[in-house]
Amino acid sequence: MKTQDSIPVTKVERSAKFVKTGFQIGGNYIKHYSKKLFNPEMDRAQLNEDNATDIYKSLSELKGSALKIAQMLSMDKNILPKSYVDKFTQSQYNAPPLSGPLIVRTFTKNFGKTPDKIYDSFNINSTNAASIGQVHQATLNGKKLAVKIQYPGVGDSISSDLKLVKPFAFRLLGMSEKELNIYIKEVEERLLEETDYELEVKRSIEFSEACKNLDNVIFPVYYPELSGKRIISMDWIEGLHLKEFLKTNPSQELRNKIGQALWDFYNFQQHQLRAVHADPHPGNFMITPDEKLGVIDFGCIKEMPDDFYYPFFSLISTDVILDKQKTIDAFRKLDMIHKEDTETQVEFYYKSYKEMIELFAKPYINEVFDFSKNEFFEKLYEYGEKISKMPEFKQARGVKHFIYVNRTNFGLYTILHDLKATVKTNTFKPEVDNN
**Model confidence over 47-69: pLDDT tens digits?**
455 555 555 555 555 554 555 55
Range picked from 2-6, 134-138, 249-253 for highest mean pLDDT:
249-253
pLDDT at 75 over 50: no
Among 208, 236, 264, give the residue marking a domain's end.
236
SS3 call for 427: coil
pLDDT at residue 181 in the model: 72
Domain match, 334 and 323 both: yes
Question: Rounded mean pLDDT of 111-130?
Answer: 89
245 lies in the same domain as 116: no
Q: In terms of domains, do 309 and 338 share one? A: yes
Is residue 226 in a domain? yes
Question: Could you tell me the residue range of the domain that residue 42 belongs to?
Answer: 11-94+158-169
pLDDT in tens, 247-263: 999 999 999 999 999 99
Q: Are 427 and 214 in contact (CB under 8 A)?
A: no
Question: Above 50 in pLDDT, residue 4?
Answer: no
Beta bridge partners of 399: none
- Is residue 186 situated within a structural domain? no
Kindly state whether residues 303 and 419 are assigned to the same domain.
yes
pLDDT in tens, 188-225: 787 788 888 999 999 999 999 999 999 999 999 999 99
What pairs with residue 138 in β-bridges? Answer: 122, 145
The β-bridge relationship of strands 293-295 and 217-218 is parallel
Query: Are residue 226 and residue 248 in the same domain, yes or no?
Result: no
**Domain holding 123: CATH number?**
3.30.200
Residue 84 lies in a domain: yes
Query: Do residues 354 and 230 share a domain?
Result: no
**pLDDT for residue 286:** 94
> Is residue 316 a part of any domain in this protein?
yes
- The least confident of 148-162, 172-186, 347-361 is 172-186
- Is 184 within a domain? no
Distances (CA, A) of 117 to 63, 108, 395: 28, 10, 55
The pLDDT value given to residue 18: 44
Counting beta carbons within 10 angstroms of the beta carbon of residue 213, is it exposed (0 to 12), middle (13 to 18) or buried (19 or more)? exposed
Please identify, among 181, 213, 236, the residue that sits at the C-terminal boundary of a domain. Answer: 236
The mean pLDDT of the chain is 78
Give yes or no: residues 278 and 163 share one domain: no
What integer is the mean pLDDT of 282-292? 93
Residue at 337 is within a domain: yes
- 65 and 212 share a domain? no
Same domain, 288 and 422: yes
Residue 379, pLDDT score: 87
The pLDDT of residue 386 is 79
Half-sphere exposure of 218 (CA within 13 A, CB side): 17
Task: Please indicate, yes or no, whether residues 383 and 253 belong to a single structural domain of this protein.
Answer: yes
Residues 368 and 253 in one domain: yes
Residue 371 has pLDDT above 80, yes or no: yes
Q: Where is pLDDT greater, at 385 or 77?
A: 385
295: confidence class by pLDDT, cuts 50, 70, 90: very high
Can you point out the beta strands (E) in 192-245?
217-218, 231-235
Task: Identify the pLDDT of residue 153.
Answer: 72
In one letter, which amino acid is 385?
Answer: E
Same domain, 19 and 125: no
CA distances to 130, 326, 419, 434 from 247, in Å: 22, 47, 11, 43
Residue 223 maps to a domain: yes
C-alpha 4/C-alpha 176 separation (Å) is 36
For residue 10, the one-letter residue type is T
* Cα–Cα distance for residue pair 281/396, rounded to 1 Å: 26
pTM over 0.85: no
Number of domain units in the chain:
3
The more confidently predicted of residues 108 and 387 is: 108
109 found inside a domain: yes
Instruction: Give residue 258's identity as a one-letter amino acid code.
Output: I
Model confidence at 44, pLDDT cuts 50, 70, 90, reads low
Residues 6+ away with beta carbon under 8 Å from 260: 215, 216, 421, 423, 424, 427
